[in-house]
Structure 1
Amino acid sequence: MSRAKRQRALSIRTRRAFRDPRAGRNTRERSVTKNIFVIGLNDYNLEKLKRLRGADDIAFHGLIDPAALYDTEVFDVPAMLAEAEEKLSAFDGSIDAIVGYMDFPVSTMLPILGEKFGVRHTSLEALLKCEHKYWSRVLQHEVIPENVPAFAAFDPFDEGALSKIGEAGLTFPFFVKPIKSSGSRLGFRIDSPEDFDYATRRLREDIGTISEPFNFLLDQANLPADIRAIDGQYCLAEQVIGGRQCTLEGYVKDGKVVPYAIVDSVRYPQVLSFFYYMYPSKLPDKVQAKMRELAVKVMEHVGFDQSGFNIEFFWDEVQDQIWLLEVNTRIAQAHCDLFEKVDGVSHQQIMVDVALGNEPDMPWGEGKYKVAGHFFYRVFFIDATITQVPSEEETADALRKVPDTIIRPQVHVGMRLSDLPEQDSYSYALCYVLIGASKQSTLLWNYEQVMKSLTFEFSDLAD
């Protein structure tokens, strides 16, 4: 055997000798290529990931079929964790990061998988301090009380819940939502006892799809007794807050909190449903600076680390009051294309770099556009059946009018609107339209031109 062949054989035996049998991976030597596992990875996001800086040296692997996360509201978290662990354990290579850009249950599974397979992650307890909405409010109130609305936890199955909310100091109007929810699901504005009766009926019917998987995750954590008593069946009532809404994107690496961008969230007039997200924000610089300061205080206080996050805020311009709405423990997936159009790459760059332990290599202002929008084309029916969606010809016509636009219908012919997962309580988002422009007015004009080409039709409208 030649010297070169002997060296190759020795190298192979050495790598095999130091393979970790629990994780099925090599723990002594790593190849140049990094292996990143992405929970719920789909083709749309994979293409964006491949365009990140340094992506040529990364292999992205999917964990859990995206349909099991996108197309349903029923999550068997123990089965998902078992499936992910089996695939990771069988992988014959280095496991360098496990990431996700989706809300529950993806975000809450990451600490469990991260701990088991030895990759960078925040603790499950720190994550739950953000995602358990009551616990999060308690902790926020400890450090930024003037920016947190009045709140109270309640059990929607308790016939005396409304009275107890009143005893806690809340009066009409107030807002209610589950202790754990995503996408404004099962959130209601309450202006009267009748509104509260309607909301609790809906919550009693549907909260089990949230509470059961969330309670499983709560059982994996070390929780204070008073927080453990407020489990996934509970809801949060809180003072109505308002103003100009936005989302601050940030990350924490090795204990350092870094807010890096703010995206405006614009609602349809007179309703709670989102019309579009726009980047960069048009809020005054001093307001953005204050939001960054608040974000640092909150994320340091909860001990969140090694991950991206985003925080939703309101700025009441009349009162010059900033309110913190909620904390999310991942980058906002709906903002990925905004950053790509304006800055040159998706802010998945932040997610990947932090997960690998690198300083984020995020460009700023290197994209094709000065401003970008993620629009939600919605209908405000109670329910209906889809009878027509945009044809290939209509889509092609829209793209000729506004090049570089991404059109992502969320429905198909024959589908009932009520079958759409992760919708708010007042509307259905039929289509996402992602557009870039030189300024906000052009952005809105471009959206109108696109929608003039697209046809959605319905039958069996519910009264």
Structure 2
Amino acid sequence: MTKNVFVVGMNELNAARLKRLRGVEDVTFHPLLTSAEVSDTQIFDIPDMLRRAEETLDAFDGSIDAIVGYIDFPVSTMLPLLCKKYGVRNASLESLLKCEHKYWSRKVMAEVIPDHVPNFTAFDPFDDEALSKIGEAGLRFPFFVKPIKSSGSRLGFRIDSPEDFAYATEAFRAEINEISEPFNYVLNQANLPDDVKAVEGHYCMAERVIGGRQCTVEGYVHDGEVVPYGVVDSIRYPQVLSFFYYLYPSTLPPRIQEQMAEITKKVMKHIGYDNAGFNIEYYWDEVQNQIWLLEINTRIAQSHCDLFEMVDGVSHQQVTVDLGLGRKPDMPQGEGPETVAAEFFYRVFFNDATVARAPSRAEVEVAAEQVEGTRITSYVSKGSKLSELPEQDAYSYAVASVWMGAQKQSKLLWNYEQVMKRLNYEFTDIVE
């Protein structure tokens, strides 16, 4: 019989990826809310999103066999609510929040892997005494601040001085309610410990600065078994916090990857997360030979889908769909056409600017044709303001992404340079 899988925020690109998965000959994928409604927006009215999703599901004349997604907030936090209501598999809301509520997550991590967790504290950005309270918690400059719930690298700042903290606080106060209010709605649906309940959605985290070589461990939990299946390196631009590219497979030493896998199994089992995919961001400080756990994300990384398909032969959305249907994921390794693959981010380092020129669709297609298998997504158009782009970090704007594979890393970097020579962006009204 045909299995019906509803995909929250499915777009054309991901619809095509899903059809290339293994074992989906008897699966029909249905969109549930549009990508524009849940991803390409800064307005997250979760009660209304849930209502509209439920109307679609209630009107469906057939079996509802799985409800899945691959997008961060708000989709990740909506899935447990929808899955529970319609009796399909997913992680519990409380186990998901133990990952996504950054304060609760750090507390849970510290219970089982204290040596891999930096000193941290929560603070209220609307409290004029917040900086002194952070100091009382034992944190000194430099430290890092971020919302207790965010998506991507949005509103994350390194703090080296009181002036930096004042700048970050101003940004928090101006923008944090866009996520804090809908996140509070989700928190109110969960059974929270009193100390976590007190740290509401508008709170932020301060943490000791950690660093080193950054990577992401992709994994899943199936019937209590934690399975890490791939490690992706996160390479930054020199001297800044913005990502330059994601590289798969990782170039970290095998022993370090094995240690990260063991840490991953320990923390995810302790959290009680089950029957869903996840990824965990880590740092390896080579000098101190220290592994730090940065954060846990309750979804596969959409940016890594093409990397796994190029190297392993199938997008790791395989994990999402198989788990949703109650299957142990059929995730291959090394069966793709390439040995290495990357997503490159073409960025500009302005505070703001207007796009005076962006490459046409035809120009993007010509650029992609320079290297077989390359895919390019341009995020801007002529006349658009960079500050209007969603999901950007605090230091730059990603105006395009380039996915490509090769037989070795050096060739990958050379190929990227050839492709980018064909893409011409121009900007006016630049705010340095």
Structure 2 length-normalised TM: 0.99
**Where do 1:32-431 residues align within 5 Å?**
32-431=1-400
Deviation string 1:135-166 (CA, Å, 9 cap, x unpaired) is: 00000000000000000000000000000000
Structure 1 consecutive aligned stretches of length 4 or more whose deviation exceeds 4 Å: none
Deviation at 1:395, TM superposition (A): 2.4
Structure 2 distance, partners of 1:396, 1:158, is: 50
Structure 2 distance, partners of 1:230, 1:416, is: 34
Hey, what does 1:16 align to over in structure 2?
none
Deviation string 1:202-241 (CA, Å, 9 cap, x unpaired) is: 0000000010000000000000111000010100000000
Please tell me whether Structure 1 or Structure 2 has the larger radius of gyration of its CA atoms. Answer: 1
Equivalent residue letter for 2:221:
V
Deviation at 1:360, TM superposition (A): 1.1
Deviation string 1:336-387 (CA, Å, 9 cap, x unpaired) is: 0000000111000011111111121111111110000001100001111111
Deviation string 1:251-306 (CA, Å, 9 cap, x unpaired) is: 00111111111000001110000100010000000000000000011101110001
Structure 1 distance, partners of 2:80, 2:222, is: 15
List alignment gaps of at least 5 residues for structure 1. Answer: 1-31
Deviation at 1:54, TM superposition (A): 1.4
Structure 2 distance, partners of 1:362, 1:33, is: 22
- The alignment's C-alpha RMSD in Å is 0.8
Match of 1:451 among 417, 420, 430: 420
Deviation at 1:393, TM superposition (A): 4.3
SS in 2 for 1:135: helix
Structure 2 distance, partners of 1:397, 1:91, is: 42
Equivalent residue letter for 1:423:
Q
Equivalent residue letter for 1:365:
G
Structure 1 length-normalised TM: 0.92
Equivalent residue letter for 2:115:
E
Deviation at 1:57, TM superposition (A): 1.1
Structure 2 distance, partners of 1:49, 1:348, is: 7
List alignment gaps of at least 5 residues for structure 2. Answer: none
Structure 2 distance, partners of 1:342, 1:380, is: 31
SS in 2 for 1:318: coil
Structure 2 distance, partners of 1:38, 1:301, is: 28
Would the aligned equivalents of 2:39 and 2:71 in 1 still touch at CA under 8 Å?
no
Structure 1 distance, partners of 2:158, 2:280, is: 21
Equivalent residue letter for 1:372:
A
* Number of aligned residues: 432
* 1:461 is aligned to 2:417: no
Equivalent residue letter for 1:71:
D
